[in-house]
Structure 1
Amino acid sequence: MNQAALSLLLTRSSCGLLQAPAPSGEALEHILQAGLRAPDHGHLQPFQFLLAEGEGLNRLGALLAESAKQDGAAEEAIERATQMPLRAPLVITVAARVQPHNKVPAFEQHLSAGCAVMAMQMAAQAQGFGGIWRSSPLMYSRKLHELLGLNEQDQIVGFLYLGTPATSLRIPSFVNSAEFVRWI
């Protein structure tokens, strides 16, 4: 039994207070490779990872704000969108790059991209970094998809914020699996 891998899975925790340094070099490559190992029916690799750090965080914030503005958001929401990426030193926008396939519907490709986010967060935590998978109504904005150069059939599945934890990771409390299980 691989006790370290099991322990990582059983103690996974999101961390929303992140600071520099962000993963880079080999650590970042491990994170990306973990995402590319997500379950993938049909071997379509329906993923795209859009990375933003440094000035890229400001560019991402400007794109979020522009899409919010064009979608008719209130001024407060537009300003908040500008600041969203600045909560971590690295933000990976993960999109499902949906490909037409007779046996693999778009929904499965979305799930696969979601699994990539989880795998990347786990790889970050395994290397001592923290992360949090964030969503936002903006991830459904077709205007944001257009601004990011995504295709009409693509879908953002989340924003993975990564960095060094600025606080101790919370150890998840025990959850009784029997509350979620029903044998058939």
Structure 2
Amino acid sequence: MPANPQAFAFLQSRQSSPAKLYTGEVPARAEVIEILTAALRVPDHGKLEPWRLVVIERPAMARLADLAEAHARTLGVDAEKTDKARGQFDRGHLAVAVISSPKASDKVPLSEQILSAGALCLGVVNATLAKGWAANWLSGWPSHDAAFCAAAFGCTADESVAGIIHIGQAANPTPDRPRPDLAKLVTWAQP
């Protein structure tokens, strides 16, 4: 495969921007379909498709904000955590929930299927950025709560939210943050 300097430059400079700073402008459904089509090109050993996607548009955000608040009150969650859980959806205009949905397999371990869902999250982020939109992979405690996920996204007992990727237009360019020091993280296996 020939080198692709543009793609490599994109990967070297890609970054997320805070979803709470998005303007409200979002891609049309046809462009969302293009983004998701590209994002689905992730490692999927055994072609199990161990994930599914839930697109959350603005009207559904209001329902999820109410659901997050009601669930927080049921659990006795403090006001700050309740506001944060609600706020993610109150401020959102478009997001994609990536649901990890492992399949029974003797050949593909559960861990690889879960990692494939994580790869899909990054695929949605990168495809969104490549189309010129902003993206932010958020979670928050509600996305790790089985009862919330069942009510919000129809998750079964075997499913979980791998990530919620908010999509929009950033109000201002996001300054780059410090990046990991490669020298501290990489070792080379000895022969």
Same fold at TM > 0.5? yes
1:30 aligned residue? 34
Contact 1:34 1:116 in 2 (8 A): no
**C-alpha distance after superposition, 1:102-155 (max 9, x if no partner):** 122322222111111101111111111001101212221010122021110101
2:52 pairs with 32, 48, 52, which one? 48
Q: Aligned pair in 2 of structure 1 residues 104, 68: CA closer, same or farther (>3 Å)? A: farther
2:64 pairs with 57, 60, 64, which one? 60
1:8 aligned residue? 10
Q: Does 1:156 align with 2:161?
A: yes
Q: CA RMSD in A?
A: 1.8
Contact 2:85 2:140 in 1 (8 A): no
TM (norm. structure 1) is: 0.90
Q: Aligned pair in 2 of structure 1 residues 105, 6: CA closer, same or farther (>3 Å)? A: same
1:99 aligned residue? 103
1:72 aligned residue? 76
1:114 pairs with 118, 138, 156, which one? 118
Instruction: For residue 182 of structure 1, report the CA deviation from its aligned partner.
Output: 0.2
TM (norm. structure 2) is: 0.87
Q: How many residues align?
A: 184
Question: Any residues of structure 2 matched to 1:74-89 within 5 Å, and which?
Answer: 74-89=78-93
Structure 1 residue runs without a partner (length 5+) = none
Between 1:72-81 and 1:25-34, the stretch displaced more is: 72-81
